[in-house]
A and B are shown apart, each in its own frame.
Chain A
Amino acid sequence: MNAHKRFPTRLNLRTGRVDITHGAGGRAMAQLVEELFVRHFDNELLRRMDDQAAFAVEGGRMVMATDGHVVSPLFFPGGDIGSLAVHGTINDVAMSGARPLYLSAGFILEEGFPLADLERIVKSMARAAAAAGVPVVTGDTKVVERGKGDGVFITTTGLGVVPPGLEISGANARPGDAVLVSGHLGDHGVAIMSRRENLEFETEIVSDSAALHGLVARMVAEVPEIRVLRDPTRGGLAATLNEIARASGVGMRLDEDAIPIRPEVEAACELLGLDPLYVANEGKLVAICPQGRAEALLAVMRAHDLGRDAAIIGEVTDDEMGFVTMETGFGGTRIVDWLAGEQLPRIC
C-alpha cells in the first residue's frame, strides 16, 4: 500500500493536530491509521486492516486482561503513556504465570492534540511491544471534542496462554508462605510526581516501567509452586498485599527493614509527606510461595535483570481479620492499611 498515492498530502506530523475528522471514519481517519498506527506497530496481522485480528493459539488455559491509561503528565522520566500502556497490560497477563501473545490498543484522542506528540507516543508503544515480543494486532481510534479528554487516553487488552501445571491466583496464599518483591518500590510514583504541575522537583529517579513476563517465565519455570503473583501498581505494595490478604483469607506480617526502597524515593516521600508503601510501581511484582521454596525463588529473581534487588519481605499469617501488619524499623508494630482516598502531601 502506498500512502503517497492514496492521500493527496502526507499527515503533518510536525505541526499538525488531531481534529474531529481523524475520528469520523472518513479518509482522514484512514490516513491517521495507516501513516501512524500501522506504520509503527507494523505486523502481518495489523497489515490486513480487518476489523479484528484472527490467529490460531496453542491449547491450554488462556488469560485476558485489560487496562486503561490516563496518566498525567503523558511523558515522564523513564517512560510515557505509550510504553506504560504496553507494559501495564503485559504485566497483568503475566501475573497469572501466562506467556503474553497479543495486544489490542484503543486510543481516545482529544481534538487539538499535537500529532507530533501522538507519534512520539505511538513510536514508544511500538518499541515497547517489539522489545517485549508482544505485537499490537488490532486497535481503534476515537476523537473527542476539545475539553472532553486529557490529550490522549489509551486502553490496551492482552491475551496470553498459561503453561500447564501452574495455579497462580490472589486467593492462593497460605499461612506460612513467604512474601517477596522483585525490587525497589515507589520509583514510578515519585518519577510521575516530580513532573506534576505545581509539584515539580529535581530528582534522578526514573519510572521503573517494564514488561515483567520474561522474569515471570524464569520464576515459574524454576518454582512452579508459586501461589500468587501481582504487580503493585496503583495503591502500591500496601494495596496489593491487602487485596491478596482479603482474597486468600489470611493476614501478613512484614519486616520494614527488609523492604527495598531507594534513599532518593524515601527522601522525596519524606518531603511530600507520603508513604512509599502506597506509591505506584510499574515494573515490580509481588510473589508468594511456600516458605521452603523462597530461597530458590529469590535466587532466580536476582539472576534476572528486572529482579536484581529482589527481597523476602515477610510472611503470610493465619489471621481471620486479614490484617497486614509490619514490624517497624523502629521496633514497634503497625498496620499497613488500604489507602483511603488519595495520598496527599501533609500540611503541618
Chain B
Amino acid sequence: MKYVDDFRRKDIAGSLAARIAEAVDPARDYAFMEFCGGHTHAIFRYGVQDLMPPNLRFVHGPGCPVCVLPIPRIDNAIEMAERHGVILCTYGDMMRVPASKRRSLIRAKADGADIRMIYSTGDALQVARDNPGREVVFLAIGFETTTPPTAVAIRQARAEGLGNFSVFCNHVLTPAAIQHILQSPELREMGQVRIDGFLGPSHVSSIIGSAPYEYFAEEFQKPVVIAGFEPLDVMQATLMLIRQVNEGRFEVENEYTRVVTEQGNLKAQALVSEVFELRSSFEWRGLGEVPYSALRIRDEFADFDAERRFALTGSRGRDVKGCECPAILRGVKKPTDCKLFGTVCTPDNPQGSCMVSSEGSCAAYWSYGRFRIDKARAEAREAAA
C-alpha cells in the first residue's frame, strides 16, 4: 500500500524512537493525552508504547464517539424503534453499546425491532426512499468529522421531500470536551491527573482547523500538537510535545500538515452551521453535562429532527455498578484500575462503552495489550510469593 505504508515504516520508527529517548529529560515524567480514539487504536495496534521511554505515558482521552454517548440517548433510540416502530439506521459500532437493563441495539434487534446497520448517511436516505410507508430515523453520532455528512443528508431529504426521514442528532464537539477535561477538579485542584500536553485530533482538525485549539493552549498553558492517525504521526507529534514541554512552550503545532490547515474545511463548516446550532448543554458519558458541547438541528430543519417528531420518555439509565468508564474517559483511571475489566467486562460481553469500540481504551487494552497486564500481574504474584 503505497502512501500509507510510508507512515508505518519500522526504520523511521526506530530512528524517531532514538530521538525521543534522547529528547526526554530523565529527571521527570511526561504524560500526554491523546484525545482521539483513532490515536488510542494506533498506539495499541502498532505497539507504539513499546518504543517509548519508560518515563513517558499516554493518557487515553474521551475521543471515541460511541464511548461518550450516555445511556439515556441509546435508550431513546431503542424506544423510537420499539414504541414508535421506526426503522432505526445506525453505524455498526453503535450496535453493541450497552443501554439500560442489559439491553443494546443488537439485543433490541433480536427482540424484533427494525434496526439496520448502515455504512453511510446515503444508505439511510435510501432506506427511507425504499420504505415510504415507514418512519426512518438515522441515529447520528460522532465528532466534527461525521457531522458534515449528516448535514448533507438532512439537506438532501428536504430537497427530495422525504417526509419519512429524520435524524436523532447526537453530534458532539471536541474543543468543548478538551476544555472541560482541563477544567475538571481532578486536574485543577486534586492533582489526580497530570497532563503535560495533548495529541490533537486528526480527522476532526481537518474539518475545524487548528485555530480552535489556540484558546486553551494559551489559557491552560498546555501544548497541543495536531497529529495524524498513523503510528509515525503519533511518534513525530510526541517528539514535538516533548520539545515544547522541555522548552516551556505551550503552542498549537501541526504535525498533520498534509491534511490539516489553520482554518480547516470552510465549506464543511458552512454546511454544518446551516443545518445545526449549539446546544446549551449536553450529557457526555464520563464527563457529565458539558456546556455548549453538542449540536442540535436548527428550527428551519425541525421537520427532520427525530427528537421533535417522536415523544420520548426521559430515561434515567445509569452505568453498570462498578464500571469505571466515566473515570477512564476523563483519564483519571486506567482500564486495569477497574474491577470489571477482563472479569465480567470483555469485548464479547461489554458492560461499559469503553469496551465496545476498537477505539475505546478498555477494548484496546484488552485486545492488543493484555499480555503485558497479565505478565505484570504474574510477576507481581511471584514477587509476593
Contacts and interface: CB of A to CB of B under 8 A. Distances in A.
B14 interface: yes
B237 to A, nearest CB: 15
A330 B47 contact: yes
A263 interface: yes
Which of A323, A330, A345 has the most chain B CB within a 10 Å cutoff?
A: A330
Contacts of A344: 92-93, 95, 117
Contacts of B368: 334-335, 337
B346 interface: yes
Given A346-B358, A348-B37, A332 B46 contact: yes
A321 interface: yes
B96 A341 contact: yes
Interface string B92-118: 110110000000000000000000011
Contact of B48 (A263, A330, A340, A342): A330
Contact of A341 (B123, B347, B369): B347
Interface in B121-143: 123, 141-143
A348 B203 contact: yes
Nearest to B66: A347
A66 interface: no
A330 B42 CA distance: 11
A199 B93 contact: no
Interface in B368-383: 368-371, 374-375
B51 A332 contact: yes
A325 interface: yes
Which of A267, A331, A342 has the most chain B CB within a 10 Å cutoff?
A: A331
Contacts of A331: 10, 13-14, 17, 47, 50-51
B347 A340 contact: yes
B142 A328 contact: no
B371 A270 contact: no
A165 interface: no
A37 to B, nearest CB: 35
Contact of A198 (B44, B119, B371): B119
B179 interface: no
Interface in A239-277: 263, 266-267, 270
B47 A332 contact: yes
Interface in B176-213: 203
A330 B92 CA distance: 28
Contacts of B326: none
Interface residues of B, number: 51
B4 A270 contact: yes
B304 interface: no
Contact of B119 (A334, A335, A338, A345): A345
Interface in B141-160: 141-143, 145-146
Nearest to B348: A340
Contacts of B250: none
Which of A198, A266, A334 has the most chain B CB within a 10 Å cutoff?
A: A334
B38 interface: yes
B8 interface: yes
B70 interface: no
B92 to A, nearest CB: 3
Interface string A315-336: 0000001010100111111110
Contacts of A335: 367-371
A328 B358 CA distance: 18
A345 to B, nearest CB: 6
A337 B145 CA distance: 29
Contacts of B117: 344
B371 A330 contact: no
A334 B369 contact: yes
Nearest to A321: B374
A348 B38 contact: yes
Contacts of B231: 330
A268 to B, nearest CB: 10
Contacts of B46: 328, 330, 332, 334
B1 A321 contact: no
Interface string A2-25: 000000000000000000000000
Interface in A72-117: none
B47 A334 contact: yes
Interface string B1-16: 1001000111001100
B91 interface: yes
A328 B49 CA distance: 12
Nearest to B45: A334
Contact of B10 (A267, A323, A330): A330
Contacts of A199: 119
B47 A198 contact: no
A333 B44 CA distance: 9
B371 A321 contact: yes
Which of A270, A338, A344, A348 has the most chain B CB within a 10 Å cutoff?
A: A348
A197 to B, nearest CB: 9
A329 B46 CA distance: 8
A261 B129 CA distance: 39
Nearest to B143: A348
B239 to A, nearest CB: 16
Nearest to A257: B10
Given A198-B119, A330-B8, 13 more contacts: A198-B123, A267-B1, A331-B51, A332-B47, A332-B50, A334-B46, A337-B366, A337-B367, A338-B348, A340-B367, A341-B95, A347-B93, A348-B359
26 contacts: A263-B1, A321-B371, A321-B374, A328-B45, A330-B9, A330-B10, A330-B13, A331-B14, A331-B50, A332-B51, A333-B47, A334-B46, A335-B371, A337-B368, A340-B348, A341-B95, A344-B93, A345-B92, A346-B358, A347-B65, A347-B92, A347-B93, A347-B141, A348-B65, A348-B142, A348-B146
Interface of B: 1, 4, 8-10, 13-14, 17, 36-38, 44-51, 65, 91-93, 95-96, 117-119, 123, 141-143, 145-146, 203, 231, 346-348, 357-359, 363, 366-371, 374-375
What are the 8 tightest A-B residue pairs by CB atom distance, in nearest-first order?
A332-B47, A340-B347, A344-B92, A332-B50, A330-B46, A334-B368, A347-B91, A323-B371
